[in-house]
């Protein structure tokens, strides 16, 4: 099946805007779906209209905070709505971005992503999942959330990856022939980083002092410290590194 029209849930987000760019550059039609474009995948407002004529959905919408219960409710509802409205519109496939380690998580936002995967996979439309490492752009979000001259980031390992790199891999997955029986693919950056060290590089450019903390108060901190959320042996690793990405920012 050759898909030409993709509806992109979360098209205005950090990852979503790159997904729209990659689709457009490759000659596909991208229908943006976010509240900013008049489409709400939770209430259903504008959803039927946006999906009319779409052959596939790419789901990169997200809840805006790390609260597990609120995020779980968001992903559960959005997944059900994308299936329900998508089935009526004749959508043939949904591709979604998840996070590496979601399958192992017991708490926090990662556990909400596990529910996101499960509810999407339980629906009538075939689903493809790409698990990504934390984004280079996520480090910006961590500093933004703290809003002061000092930010506290965990000294935990992560294999940060650029949103543009994830978008290319996700569009590859969404347009590839089905490959039943293969493990859920993963995409991560070229090397292991420490979140607090990446934060220090960014903080130095923003005048924010970044203090490393042990992360023990975070959900599943022991698993994270043991590297359980790092990419597996079958992961695709691709640049730029965090520093290269930072140097390329305007």
Ligand X SMILES: NC(=O)c1ccc[n+]([C@@H]2O[C@H](COP(=O)([O-])OP(=O)(O)OC[C@H]3O[C@@H](n4cnc5c(N)ncnc54)[C@H](OP(=O)(O)O)[C@@H]3O)[C@@H](O)[C@H]2O)c1
Which positions touch ligand X (CB under 6 A)?
9-16, 33-36, 39-42, 60-62, 64, 97, 99, 113, 132, 134-135, 138
Cα separation, 44 vs 227, whole angstroms: 39
In sequence order, what DSSP letters do the residues of 108-132 get, joined into one string? Answer: HHHHHHHHHHHHHHTSSS-EEEEEE
Cα separation, 122 vs 144, whole angstroms: 35
Closer residue to ligand X (CB): 35 or 104:
35
Closer residue to ligand X (CB): 34 or 93:
34
Q: How far is the CB of 2 from ligand X (least distance, A)?
A: 25
Q: How far is the CB of 74 from ligand X (least distance, A)?
A: 7
The answer to whether 186 and 100 have CB atoms below 8 angstroms apart is: yes
Q: How far is the CB of 236 from ligand X (least distance, A)?
A: 14
Tokens linked to 207 = 């005048």
Q: Where are the beta strands (DSSP E) in 34-109?
A: 56-59, 93-99
Q: How far is the CB of 54 from ligand X (least distance, A)?
A: 14
Q: How far is the CB of 165 from ligand X (least distance, A)?
A: 11
- Number of helices and strands (H, E) in the chain? 9, 11
Name which of 154, 116, 152, 149 is nearest 134 in CA terms.
154
Closer residue to ligand X (CB): 98 or 175:
98
Closer residue to ligand X (CB): 33 or 208:
33
Closer residue to ligand X (CB): 141 or 149:
141
Cα separation, 50 vs 95, whole angstroms: 17
């Amino acid at each position: 099946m050759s898909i030409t029209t993709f509806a992109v849930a979360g098209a205005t987000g950090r990852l979503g805007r790159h997904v729209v760019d990659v689709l457009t550059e490759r000659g596909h039609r991208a229908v943006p779906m976010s509240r900013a474009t008049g489409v709400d995948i939770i209430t259903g407002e504008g959803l039927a209209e946006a999906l009319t004529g779409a052959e596939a959905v790419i789901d990169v919408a997200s809840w805006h905070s790390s609260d597990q219960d609120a995020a779980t409710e968001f992903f559960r509802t959005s997944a059900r709505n994308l299936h329900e409205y998508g089935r009526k519109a004749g959508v043939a496939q949904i591709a979604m971005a998840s996070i590496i380690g979601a399958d192992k998580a017991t708490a926090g936002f990662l556990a909400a992503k596990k529910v996101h995967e499960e509810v999407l996979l339980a629906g009538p439309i075939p689903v493809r999942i790409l698990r990504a490492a934390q984004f280079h752009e996520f480090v910006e979000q961590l500093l933004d959330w703290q809003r002061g001259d000092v930010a506290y980031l965990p000294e935990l390992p992560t294999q940060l990856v650029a949103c543009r790199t994830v978008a290319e891999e996700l569009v590859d997955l969404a347009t590839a022939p089905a490959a039943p029986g293969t493990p859920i693919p993963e995409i991560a950056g070229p090397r292991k980083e420490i979140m607090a060290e990446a934060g220090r590089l960014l903080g130095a450019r923003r005048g924010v002092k970044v203090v490393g903390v042990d992360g023990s108060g975070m959900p599943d901190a022991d698993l994270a410290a043991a590297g359980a959320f790092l990419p597996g042996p079958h992961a695709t690793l691709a640049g730029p590194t965090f520093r290269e990405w930072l140097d390329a920012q305007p």
